Amino acid sequence: MSDLKGKVIIVTGAAMGLGFAAADVLAAKGAHITLVDYNPEALEKAKTELSSKYPDSEFLVVTADVSVEENVKNYVDQTVQRFGKVDGLYNNAGIEGKQAPLIDYDMEVFKKVIDINLLGVYYGMKYVIPEMQKNGGGRIVNVASVGGIRGVLNQTAYVATKHAVAGMTKNAALEYGKDNILTNAIAPGAILTPMVAEAFKQVNPQDPKAAETEYASRNPTRRLGDPTDVGNLVAYLLSDQNGYVSGQVIAIDGGESNMY
Ligand code: NAD
């Protein structure tokens, strides 16, 4: 369980959901972690919980909005100041936006989704890659979605930005593989996090649980994903055990995206 011992990994969107679950798995494997989020209270709570569970890991908290370039530069600079290097980036922070048919999509929301999901991921790579080059390499995992490989009804902005994440991932892998920087994207299906719970509320405001059960019944595994399922994949991709997987968009969805 110690294949990330001494590694320094930045996790964005670390206060809850997939980011928090991954931070838990990474710390269990011995990593030191910079926890980044724009929700300072939830971030402190996450740090307190992780510090007491993993006393051998060090946690640095940086409040940052990933859509603001200077904030991203700052979380990378602070990580290097504290730990001296960056081995991994879990570029996870993202939002769904509001669900609406394509022609009715609110442009303010569309632009916000682009700023966070697309530019936030881009800035993360922009500032972390030079540090990884200095350090002899690194591993990046960008969070796309099954909405980065398929369409999803009423989620035009989300789908557009997640396809962009898949594209940027391929480019980063092509351009920086020579520096021993392996970059992949993950494409989660429905994983039960606060974001997905909110989506079920939008689908069926009277009975979100019914929407959840209906959704899970379509999956080959008959369940939604657990955030730890995703954390385990992320930990592998960020470790040195991953020596040759790069530029891939890896679905983690119980096989659902293969269904016709
Ligand atoms: P979540 O809403 O449960 O948690 C997201 C975290 O990111 C929150 O702590 C939030 O404060 C933070 N965050 C949001 N915008 C931010 C910003 N601009 N700057 C800094 N922090 C910010 O969401 P989640 O379900 O854990 O999703 C995490 C990522 O996984 C997202 O990119 C999402 O699109 C993707 N994803 C999730 C699922 C799923 O089923 N949960 C499926 C596919 C993709």
Instruction: Write the DSSP assignment of 4-15 as a string of letters.
Output: TTT-EEEEESTT
Residues 122 and 215 in one domain: no
Residues 207 and 81 in one domain: no
Residues 67 and 175 in one domain: yes
Provide the domain count of the chain: 2
> 158, 215, 244, 260: which one is catalytic?
158
Q: Which residues line ligand 1 (CB under 6 A)?
A: 12-13, 15-19, 37-39, 42, 64-67, 92-95, 116, 120, 143, 145, 188, 190-191, 193-196
CA of 245 to the centre of ligand 1 (A): 24
Residues 15 and 127 in one domain: yes
Apex 93 CA angle, 92 and 99, nearest 5: 115
Residue 161 belongs to a domain? yes
The pLDDT value given to residue 30: 97
The pLDDT value given to residue 2: 55
CA-nearest residue for atom 24, ligand 1, is: 17
Residues 154 and 69 in one domain: yes
- pTM for the model stands at 0.97
| Averaged pLDDT score across all residues of the chain | 97
Domain range spanning residue 200? 192-224
With 0-12 / 13-18 / 19 or more C-beta atoms within 10 angstroms meaning exposed / middle / buried, residue 217 is: exposed
The pLDDT value given to residue 260: 87
Assembly ipTM: 0.99
CA-nearest residue for atom 4, ligand 1, is: 17
CA of 99 to the centre of ligand 1 (A): 16
Whole-angstrom Cα distance, residue 143 to residue 154? 20
Summarised one tens digit per residue, pLDDT across range 17-44 is: 999 999 999 999 999 999 999 999 999 9
Residues 86 and 146 in one domain: yes
Q: Note whether 203 and 151 are within 8 A (CB).
A: no
Please confirm, yes or no, whether 54 is among the known catalytic residues: no
Whole-angstrom Cα distance, residue 187 to residue 46? 24
Summarised one tens digit per residue, pLDDT across range 109-166 is: 999 999 999 999 999 999 999 999 999 999 999 999 999 999 999 999 999 999 999 9
